[in-house]
Amino acid sequence: MSVRNIFVVGMDEHNRQRLEHLRGAENYRFHGVIEPAEVNDTEIFPIEDMLFRAEAQLKAFGEPIDAIVGYMDFPVSTMLPLLCKRIGTPSTSLESLLKCEHKYWSRLVQREVMADYIPRFTAFDPFDPQALQRIGEAGLYMPFFVKPIKSSGSRLGFRIESPEDFAHAVERLCDGIGTISEPFNYVLDHANLPDDVRSVDGGHCMAEEIIGGWQCTVEGYVFQGDVVPYGIVDSIRYPQVLSFFCYRYPSRLPAAIQAKMEELTRQIMTHIGYDNAAFNIEYFWDEVQDRIWLLEINTRVAQSHCDIFEKVDGVSHQQVTVNLALGQRPDMPHRQGAFKVAGKFFYRVFFTDAIVSQVPSAEEIETLQQAFPGTVIALQVEAGMRLSSLPEQDSYSYALAYLWMGANDDVTLEENYARLAEQLHFAFENIVG
């Protein structure tokens, strides 16, 4: 078999190593396009310029280009259909992608086929002084949740309990929404949008009925119209707050609930017309009401889940992304990994702000990784850094480190994390809050 040239948007060394362990990787040659620093750990996204430079690099490549892939959220996931179209490699259509990523359009499309599984919602302009009144006129009353039409992670998401909460949220939204709304609007300008969607651009926000319960993510793909869910990951939050504690795989949800989520997944992705690409859908199961809610659809594999799929199933689910981009049905193994369960843990502090004065040394990290086999520890801060400078954080805490761990049962996994976390030593100065 001839070597296949695969270009990866924003590829870093860690993910290059992951990709080179995929099935069939001996026949793949991975190339980076667009530097990782331009699309990760930054809040400046010059999409037009990045596309121009990427297109020039790709067209100057002297060999066939077999695939262009990405594994990150905005701006990578949103740029891919534009870049693939210019180069002529497989991708889902821009419109089908935006029916997932444009949160208002996505809710409109979901309502057409699964109205009983989504919350009440409305769009609003955060710069409109009458925004709160208009939300009420649309039939939404406090408490509700607000977030941008397009965001990344949990950034700029707020629970609104009072007019004061809304005023605070709107101030933050107006200050920060432009970093994503402007590049997102560039992408919207290239799409064929319905009039009621075009009028709600990236500078708008969503207000939604509060939903909750047991949160999880269904990872899946569509190949030639066939929607295939292949794994469900639980998303566990810290008590009483919105911040994530860990992602755990496989899910502990009841089998009947998992089956219903997979059925809903097939229904909505078929209706959207999404094809030949990976996705994941976040759901809640309200155990008290025995009700399933669809939270949102993402047009990529979850990078946070790569290591836990490898631990449990035997390979990172980037396997799905690469195979689809090559026009192949994914060759994803099942339960062939070294562990029966795995998790990604978020080691957090709940300060308003602080300066980091001490972090675990490289030697301490290596010792801990050796003490807990299979563990990967990725520090997100360094000494001298102000916590508020960390990008992609939620509105309530700061993640100091990510830890991927595996075990043979859930209890051992959680106990091992607790033991390890006690040995991670950070220090701070000028703590506020």
User: What per-residue confidence (pLDDT) applies to 288?
Assistant: 94
User: What per-residue confidence (pLDDT) applies to 289?
Assistant: 94
Query: Average pLDDT of 398-411?
Result: 96
Task: Starting at the earlier edge strand, list the strands of the sheet with 226-237.
Answer: 291-298, 277-286, 214-223, 226-237, 244-249, 341-349, 398-407, 376-379
Residues recorded for the chain? 433
Q: Which of 249-263, 347-361, 374-388: highest mean pLDDT?
A: 249-263
**pLDDT tens by residue, 199-246:** 999 999 999 999 999 999 999 999 999 999 999 999 999 887 778 999
pTM above 0.85, yes or no: yes
Question: Between the CA of residue 192 and those of 107, 251, 288, 329, 392, what are the distances in Å?
Answer: 17, 38, 41, 29, 30
For 341-432, CATH number? 3.90.1170
User: What per-residue confidence (pLDDT) applies to 153?
Assistant: 60
User: What per-residue confidence (pLDDT) applies to 302?
Assistant: 93
**How high is the mean pLDDT of the chain?**
93
Question: Between the CA of residue 285 and those of 29, 72, 118, 293, what are the distances in Å?
Answer: 41, 26, 12, 6
| 74 or 346, greater pLDDT | 346
**pLDDT tens by residue, 49-97:** 999 999 999 999 999 999 999 988 888 999 999 999 999 999 999 999 9
- In this predicted structure, the answer to whether residue 433 has a pLDDT above a threshold of 60 is no
Q: Where are the alpha helices (DSSP H) in 238-343?
A: 255-272, 306-313, 318-325
Query: Average pLDDT of 27-42?
Result: 88
User: What per-residue confidence (pLDDT) applies to 271?
Assistant: 98
Q: If we measure between CA atoms, which residue out of 128, 100, 123 comes closest to residue 300?
A: 100
**pLDDT tens by residue, 161-205:** 999 999 999 999 999 888 889 899 999 999 999 999 999 999 999
Confidence of residue 432 (pLDDT cuts 50, 70, 90): low
User: What per-residue confidence (pLDDT) applies to 19?
Assistant: 95
Please state, in angstroms and rounded to a whole number, the distance separating the CA atoms of residues 51 and 34: 9
User: What per-residue confidence (pLDDT) applies to 65?
Assistant: 96
- In this predicted structure, the answer to whether residue 382 has a pLDDT above a threshold of 70 is yes
Question: Per mean pLDDT, which range of 148-152, 195-199, 269-273, 292-296 is the poorest?
Answer: 148-152
- In this predicted structure, the answer to whether residue 350 has a pLDDT above a threshold of 80 is yes
Burial (CB < 10 A; 0-12, 13-18, 19+), residue 37, is exposed
**pLDDT tens by residue, 284-301:** 999 999 999 999 999 999
For 120-210, CATH number? 3.30.1490
Q: If we measure between CA atoms, which residue out of 278, 252, 238, 245 comes closest to residue 405?
A: 245
Residues ≥6 apart with Cβ < 8 Å to 250: 231, 232, 233, 312, 341
% pLDDT > 70, the chain: 98
Question: Per mean pLDDT, which range of 144-158, 260-274, 319-333 is the poorest?
Answer: 144-158
Q: Where are the domains of the chain?
A: 4-91, 120-210, 341-432
Q: If we measure between CA atoms, which residue out of 341, 344, 339 comes closest to residue 247?
A: 344
Residues ≥6 apart with Cβ < 8 Å to 123: 104, 149, 200, 204, 205, 206, 207
Asked whether 208 and 157 are in contact (CB, 8 A), the reply is no
User: What per-residue confidence (pLDDT) applies to 396?
Assistant: 76
User: What per-residue confidence (pLDDT) applies to 254?
Assistant: 97
% pLDDT > 90, the chain: 85
User: What per-residue confidence (pLDDT) applies to 37?
Assistant: 84
- In this predicted structure, the answer to whether residue 370 has a pLDDT above a threshold of 70 is yes
Question: Between the CA of residue 332 and those of 232, 267, 341, 343, 417, what are the distances in Å?
Answer: 14, 22, 17, 19, 28
- In this predicted structure, the answer to whether residue 154 has a pLDDT above a threshold of 90 is no
